[in-house]
A = this chain, B = another copy of it.
Amino acid sequence: MISRVESAAATRRSLLDAAAALLGEGGPEAVTLREVGSRAGVSRGAPYRHFDDKDHLLTAVATEAWDALADEAVALSADPARPAHDKLRAMLSGLLAIGRERPHLYRLMHRPPAAEEMLRAAARSQVPFLAVLGDLVGPDRAHHYGALLLTSVHGILGMEASGQLTREKWRTDADEILETLLGALPAD
């Protein structure tokens, strides 16, 4: 038997899934509360029982995505078998994958002004990221190089998405740029 709170939680989950699906299919303008409700099997007003407004719903979607990414990073960093440089590449690839395969979600995750709740989820992945980087360049340099790598990946994805980073225009691509940066990491 399903209790009332269980049913409400299921609706909330359906709303989040529907919003994420619509975002992936048709971009931000395809995410209307009416369609979200419809896909979740409820009416247009139902989302207001679970989220303050549309913005909070989207923030929740972005927060879940950051949480999933943080979980991946934690799992990666805990693996004792993989070499550190391999873990680092895997983490950066995880970000690149979201940016390329789910660009609308990626943009949502970086939309200003960022909600405090979402920033906390995004910050969770920093710990494992810095741990792996600390193994490579030493704990002192980890912060600085971590920021450099993350901003670079973010910039690469942004300019790729807006069509300003093309191979024909720059005679290079994201992978080459990243290799240059990774190759320049001080070996400690």
Contacts and interface: CB of A to CB of B under 8 A. Distances in A.
Interface string A152-164: 1111101101111
Interface in A51-87: none
Interface residues on A, range: 35 or more
Given A114-B164, A154-B158, A143 B170 contact: yes
Contact of A119 (B164, B171, B172, B181): B164
A119 B131 CA distance: 40
B152 A170 contact: no
Contacts of A184: 184
B114 A162 contact: yes
Nearest to A109: B162
Interface string A121-163: 0110010000000000000000110111011111110110111
A180 B148 contact: yes
Chain A interface, DSSP helix/strand/loop, else mixed: helix
Given A113-B163, A163-B114, A170 B147 contact: yes
A100 interface: no
A162 B157 CA distance: 15
Interface string A164-183: 11000111100011001100
Interface of A: 103, 110-114, 119, 122-123, 126, 143-144, 146-148, 150-156, 158-159, 161-165, 169-172, 176-177, 180-181, 184
Given A111-B162, A112-B163, A143-B170, 4 more contacts: A123-B169, A144-B171, A151-B165, A155-B155
